[in-house]
Structure 1
Amino acid sequence: LAPQASTLRKKLRSSWKRSLWLFPLTSIRGLLRGFGVHAAAAAALRAGCEAHLLALLEDWGLCARHAKRVAVEAADVRLVRCLQGKRV
């Protein structure tokens, strides 16, 4: 991967391990304000969103690496969506 991509990946993983959040809690609460969601449920949604985002970034990076590229392209995103069973 490119130096920038590997740096981003390391930052994402380290923030995940230190339990720092990628999404600010205020933005999650703002999205869920009208639904009456409990704080524990909002925290679970936040954790799930971040885990899904990390998995997507890793899969896109693996596709780019397999194609011997350093940058993720739209084709990588389409391939990952197709492999997950989501048609583009």
Structure 2
Amino acid sequence: MYLHLGVDCMVKNSEIIAIFNLGHPQSQVYDDYVKKYGSRYEIVDASGGEGYYSCVLTEQTMYLSSISSITLKKRAESGFLDGAVYTNMEILKRR
């Protein structure tokens, strides 16, 4: 299955590592992770110029989307990425 991220951009579900919520006021993911580690990834703007609300991370690519992380999770197949929508830096603590 593929997940539609916006602006004719799709990613294979099995390639997704995490979906970050960038739109939450308490989220520091963009400042703490995207800005810091963004150079390690190919960055794809799937927002269509509407602003970034979520970041979908694969092994080699960081997709910035205007679709909320909750909506993206709902679009993914049932049971996929349960508990993988973060509003803080929990994923970095696991690495």
- TM-score w.r.t. structure 2 length? 0.22
Q: Which one has a bigger Cα radius of gyration? A: 1
Q: Which one has the bigger strand percentage?
A: 2
Q: Relative CO higher for 1 or 2, CA cutoff 8 Å, sep ≥ 6?
A: 2
- TM-score w.r.t. structure 1 length? 0.23
Q: Which one has the bigger helix percentage?
A: 1
